Amino acid sequence: MKFRSKTGELVYRSILRLQKAFCRGRACGQCPIRNHIIDCEDTAECDVWAVEHPHEAARLMGYEVVEDEPSGNFGQLEEANMKEKCPICDYDIEHCQCRFGGSAHPDWSKRRDVAKDHLYLFSNKQVRHIIELERYWRTSYLDEEKEEIRKELAAEYNPALPPVEPKEANMDKQKKPRICEVLGVEINEHFRFNDFVFNYYRINENGKIENVKGGLVSSEELCCMINNSYRIIHKPRWTEQEVERAKAIKVLYPEADKLDECDPQIKVLNTKFVIATLDTALFPSLRPGETVKLDEIIGGVE
């Protein structure tokens, strides 16, 4: 956006950057924006209110919004708009950082939910949709218009799901979190990243990324992994000892086909029956309740 100060100086930046710079070093009690929000009925966080009311926010900070005069046809204008900067993070639209932090969501409560539940992995289409809504809010202040936008967001990100049968619900619970698909890892699989080779990470059943050693995972680490998932180092699925034990089972029981983890034992199965039982300590990589073919173990060492 473009703003003109009282001295006539033109300032090119987003309303959020202008508001953050204005508030820096100023007590809230002395801030005209904060005092205005308290006095009016439209209560909100300062940054959200500034995005929703850029003209009024600029006036309170001693600026006026300078509107660019439209020129060219609609297609040229649309192409020019797509090269604008994001009104939230001030990056170029195609390099927008908001998709990683959830900070592009206009509803403050949704921003926290987005960051908390890893729903920030928006598609490019969703990110562009949010940016278009933010751009629309610059010139639309009517309550009914805002309410329509809120309904549109609610319908897109919180759709009403039809009731499902218990079996379908259980299948849905077992579905891998979206972040597992993005990184190409399994739930609870230990993996490393070649920029942080001394740390092991895992994704739990709720889609939360954790440091296996108990340390915190920063947003910078997560963004780096998402952008460079090909640099993830996968821990071998089976150890050499497990592979040798699987080979020994095939020698002792030629008809053996697979192993079934049934704590405190592992069942050795042929195509129909249990032919032997083993201690679970012999195959520590076998997950609880997992069934795997012996041929997969024998061919699974790296």
- What is the phi/psi pair of residue 207, to 5°? 85, 15
Q: Are strands 291-293 and 258-262 parallel, antiparallel or unpaired?
A: antiparallel
- What is the phi/psi pair of residue 284, to 5°? -65, -20
The DSSP call for residue 253 is -
Nearest CA among 44, 64, 37, 57 for reference residue 106? 44
Q: How far is CA 91 from the centre of its chain?
A: 18
14: left (phi over 0), alpha (psi -120 to 50) or beta: beta
Question: Do residues 11 and 2 touch, judged by C-beta distance below 8 A?
Answer: yes
How confident is the model at residue 164, as a pLDDT? 44
User: Is 216 in a helix, a strand, or coil?
Assistant: coil
User: Is 60 in a helix, a strand, or coil?
Assistant: helix
Other beta carbons less than 10 A from residue 88's beta carbon = 24
Q: What's the CA angle centered on 218, arms 213 and 222, to 5 degrees? A: 95
How confident is the model at residue 300, as a pLDDT? 52
Structure tokens, 214: 């108990």
How many Å is the Cα radius of gyration of the chain?
28
How confident is the model at residue 82, as a pLDDT? 47
How confident is the model at residue 266, as a pLDDT? 92
Distance, in Å, from the CA atom of 267 to the CA atom of 273, rounded to the nearest integer, reads 10
Structure tokens, 148: 């329509």
Distance, in Å, from the CA atom of 203 to the CA atom of 185, rounded to the nearest integer, reads 8
pLDDT 10s per residue in the chain (302 long)?
788 888 888 877 777 777 777 877 677 777 888 777 766 555 456 777 777 778 888 888 888 888 765 544 545 545 544 455 555 556 665 555 554 444 444 554 554 444 334 334 445 565 556 556 555 554 444 555 556 656 665 565 554 444 444 544 444 445 788 888 888 888 888 888 877 766 788 888 888 888 887 777 888 888 888 888 878 877 667 888 888 999 999 998 899 999 998 878 899 998 878 898 998 888 888 878 888 889 888 875 44
Structure tokens, 204: 């739990």
Q: How far is CA 64 from CA 3, 12, 108, in A?
A: 5, 12, 26
